[in-house]
Structure 1
Amino acid sequence: MSFFFEVLLGGLLAGVMYSLVAIGFVLIYKASGVFNFAQGSMVLFAALTFVSLLERGISFWLAFVLTLLAMVALAWTIERWVLRKLVNRPPITLFMATLGLSYIIEGLAQSLWGAQVHGLDLGINDEPFEFQGMLLSQFDIFAACVAGVLVLVLSVFFNKTRTGIALRAVADDQLAALAVGIKLEKLWLIVWTVAGFVGLVAGLLWGARLGVQFSLSLVVLKALPVLIIGGFTSISGSIVGGLIIGASEKLAEVFLGAYIGGGIENWFPYMLAMLFLLVRPTGIFGERQIERV
């Protein structure tokens, strides 16, 4: 039983890492109703910029601030030269725009910082420690605490501030929001900036775990089942979805792998997400769309 709980807690903590990437998707989707396929490239760009500045002798916090400013500049450029030109276009048009942006951002990162693999040390001891007979990762616990703080802050931002309420109004109906005087361009700039900050945090944590390399952008693929299960419009749902995916894939790998072979954690989350699509397409915390005809 102790081994079961060790695997379960390890999976829950690992699932928080998936949630950090999923939160960036939720932010963009809540503000524009668009699935931002460029989020993975933003995570890569942030991590690569940060580690490259560190390697040039810049201190940790100055590199963090400079990388955050770079993400703000990236957000401003995307809003000014892409999104503002595509207001009120069909969602598929915006999705294809973000798909193109993902390749542009990756190419920009490679041009600025090169394509070599970098190691990233955040000073967090990743050695496991024993708790009640279970071995838990200190790095995963740190990541869980960071994700918890982010969820709390973003939940307050979206539900209690005027800007957050305006963002929800824009997501519901852009034309109606424009009609009542909401400045769409300003709100999109804010939400892309916040998504850039979340991408920076996720990039640092994932870069410290996997190394800063271009395959880091593929982490978005693991965020897809998290979004499907938790819901595309819920920040809290991204955390719950990440916990479900993390726990289920680890338990399946350990306890089912002996019967049906290894590598289960590579495909089990997508099978679970497909089952959710059949039963509850909007996810656990997703908002159901009501259309008048």
Structure 2
Amino acid sequence: MLQQTIITALQQVRKHKPLVVNITNYVVMNNTANALLAIGASPIMAHSSQEMPEMMSFSGSLVINIGTLDSVWIPRMLFAVEQANLNNKVVVLDPVGVGASQLRTDTAREIAQLAQRLIIRGNASEIIALAGEQAQSKGVDSLDSSDTALGAARYLLETYQANVVISGATDYVVTNEHTVALKNGHEMMPFVTGMGCTLSALTGAFAAVGEETGLAAAAVLGVVGEIAAEQSTGPGSLQVNLLDQLYQIDQENLLQRLKLQQV
């Protein structure tokens, strides 16, 4: 059943080409926009509060990434979440670097508290820090393994009524219905900047067509990263091959390679 959910979600994204509004960081705008296009969605990087009510009225979802946070962006992010709430749209929160500074931690928690339909996608250290536990981090990089964040993810699920995706060597998707472990991907992927941000953007695309757990995005990116790494000699070629594989991924490859289990 989980495999069929993933396949159906991919088909729906390619059929409906949902518009995904991204308030994201300067480092990854190009990466995430190209990833959304490759999977079949339609990205827009909209940061102005003046157009946000209109944008959220016809978009499929909102992705907020706090990677390059400052005092100008914070009110815009909160206003965008309010508009998403008014239009009953899913918000995907990527709490980049939470725990590295109080500003990031406070802002991520404020966004999580405000959003009414929420998916949180972060690495283990970010998930642990967002939940209020001590995490090991080095800037935006995680020094915690994803399985150590399961308790924190369940706390976030209960506190914010949010589905939670923990990315790492093993990805975990934590919802009220189940906890799923995904063991795809490749050890080269962390050497490409914004890989987690790409997962958050893809999560927004799938949420826009009704797959609100984060499972489909994590599964697709894991399998795609695995295939792309086999064709790559390093992180540079991996970036290019990953986009090509997002464009080419099909049901057969997903079912053949997918390694998931409920835990």
TM range (shorter): 0.3 to 0.5
Higher helix share: 1
Higher relative contact order (CA 8 A, sep 6+): 1
Higher strand share: 2
State TM-score, norm by structure 2.
0.32
State TM-score, norm by structure 1.
0.30
